[in-house]
Amino acid sequence: MAQMNRRRALQLLAALGTTGLAAGCGPGDDGTDQAAPGSPVKIGLIVPGSGPNKVIGDEIANGFQLFLATHGQQLGGHPVTVVPAEEGDSVATGKAAVDRLLKEGVLALTGVVNPAVMTGIRDTVEDARVPLIGSNASPATLQGVVFIWRTSYVLDEPGVALGEYLRQNLDPSSRIAIFGTQGAGSRDVVNGLRRGYEQGRRLTEDPIYTPDYANPSKGAYAGPIRKALGRRPDAVFCHYTGVQAVQFVKQLYDEGYRGPIYAPGFLTEGTVLDQLDDGEKGRDRALIEKYGIETALNYSADLNNTANRVFASAYRKTFNTSPTTYAMASYDAALVLDKAIRATGGNVSPQQVNLALGTIGQVDSPRGPWQFNQPRTPQQKWYLRKVQLDGRMLSNVVINELATLG
């Protein structure tokens, strides 16, 4: 490592206040594999192009491209080429995407929808020493990383935020039926719910984990729902997304449930509300309006701050729909890369960008201000959103702040 680069690296480490980033300093810092000032750079974008997660992948791609479109197709003064790679639906396809992008010589990676893929590519990313800025939910088990950053959240956090809210607002004798898909993601969410709720009280119902259906049938959840409703719950807490969320809510009402639903915000993100709004003779809309769906999330398109007004307006104008948390987190992934690349002073390498990511401080985001914490995830506000009519359409409306977590 050249002496000036060593001095710069030590200055950055001192500013970070941690020796944990020391692994970001290595052979690539002495000028090899660096882009010259103002020269083009490549960013690898890992998202699924098919399957049930495609809609989230599209939102992530849209958010990243919107930042580039509104910033001269540059990051930190460097023209950017986005190199897409198919994430697929498994760890194997995710690894193949990372391997291909690394061979392309990308400066950094971003995207990744599936939390299991994020865990599966960890060692590949860390060994390559190329920063990955993930823009979707991150598993709670992903700890001790040096080159993996997340602009979204950790999967247990919405459970913690809602657990604290329910503890304060439900009677201690309340029964809460808990549902989620099989796998680590729902277990993270439910573990967070326990941590937030079980302070002087406990959850009396065991969680029911249903198969992770790619396209659930109209009766896929009927049996588990009947079992839970037989115990007469006062509320339902659930973790589903996309088509699973639509079918679960519909079948919950089909089986006679008439009560409040609580969930992490992705239950009602994207096109879910549109599909529930189109129910037979408006039944689903009427039940939602009467009994309520409340969710916890780090973002809502109606947040009233300058950064969100600019972002949401541009997103609606470009894509003819409101932005989701997925699009926002990807927009922020581009934003932090822009700041980090600029902070390197012009001669950028993956290792220098990784060091600089730890120095960018507070981010002025559409979600509100946030900053990276020690585990490289956002310290940020969580909002309580309620599904309400906004004009003629169902919408997620922020009604309160829940907590600051991270």
* Same domain (yes/no): 194, 87: no
Predicted TM-score (pTM) of this structure: 0.87
Q: What is the pLDDT of residues 58-92, one digit of tens each?
A: 999 999 999 999 999 999 999 999 999 999 999 99
HSE of 306 in the Cβ direction (CA atoms, 13 Å)?
3
- Asked whether residue 40 is domain-assigned, the answer is yes
* Same domain (yes/no): 61, 161: no
* Same domain (yes/no): 136, 204: no
- Asked whether residue 377 is domain-assigned, the answer is no
Closest CA to 329 of 141, 186, 136: 136
* Same domain (yes/no): 89, 49: yes
Higher pLDDT pick, 181 / 391: 181
The encoded tokens of residue 373 equal 């914490």
The encoded tokens of residue 337 equal 């890369």
pLDDT above 90 coverage of the chain, percent: 79
Domain enclosing residue 217, as ranges: 157-297+383-405
The one-character DSSP state at 298 is S
Rg (CA), the chain: 22
- Asked whether residue 262 is domain-assigned, the answer is yes
Give me the residues paired with residue 288 across strands. Answer: none
* Same domain (yes/no): 35, 148: yes
Cα gap 184→368, rounded to integer Å: 29
Helix, strand, coil content of the chain in percent (nearest 5): 45, 20, 35
Cβ distance 76 to 117 under 8 Å? no
Cα gap 393→395, rounded to integer Å: 6
The pLDDT value given to residue 36: 66
* Same domain (yes/no): 218, 263: yes
Q: What is the pLDDT of residues 179-207, one digit of tens each?
A: 999 989 999 999 999 999 999 999 999 99
Least confident window among 126-130, 238-242, 324-328, 346-350:
346-350
The encoded tokens of residue 219 equal 């009766």
Q: How far is CA 136 from the centre of its chain?
A: 3
Alpha-carbon torsion (262, 267, 270, 273), positive or negative: negative
* Same domain (yes/no): 148, 179: no
Rounded to an integer, the average pLDDT of 8-36 is: 40
* Same domain (yes/no): 28, 168: no
The pLDDT value given to residue 265: 95
The pLDDT value given to residue 51: 86
| Structural domain count of the chain | 2
Cβ neighbours, 10 Å, residue 229:
16
Higher pLDDT pick, 389 / 12: 389
Rounded to an integer, the average pLDDT of 209-224 is: 94
Q: Is the pLDDT of residue 18 over 90?
A: no
- Asked whether residue 358 is domain-assigned, the answer is yes
- Asked whether residue 64 is domain-assigned, the answer is yes
Q: What is the pLDDT of residues 243-300, one digit of tens each?
A: 999 999 999 999 999 999 999 999 999 889 888 876 565 889 899 999 999 999 999 9
* Same domain (yes/no): 168, 149: no
- Asked whether residue 278 is domain-assigned, the answer is yes
SS3 52: coil
Residues in contact with 306: Cβ distance below 8 Å, sequence separation at least 6, in sequence order:
none
Here the CATH number for the domain that contains residue 91 is: 3.40.50.2300
- Asked whether residue 378 is domain-assigned, the answer is no
HSE of 174 in the Cβ direction (CA atoms, 13 Å)?
19
* Same domain (yes/no): 263, 397: yes
The pLDDT value given to residue 390: 81
Q: What is the pLDDT of residues 307-363, one digit of tens each?
A: 999 999 999 999 999 999 999 999 999 999 999 999 998 779 999 999 999 999 999
Give me the chain's average pLDDT, please. Answer: 90
Rounded to an integer, the average pLDDT of 354-375 is: 97
The pLDDT value given to residue 8: 35
* Same domain (yes/no): 193, 124: no
* Same domain (yes/no): 400, 364: no
- Asked whether residue 326 is domain-assigned, the answer is yes
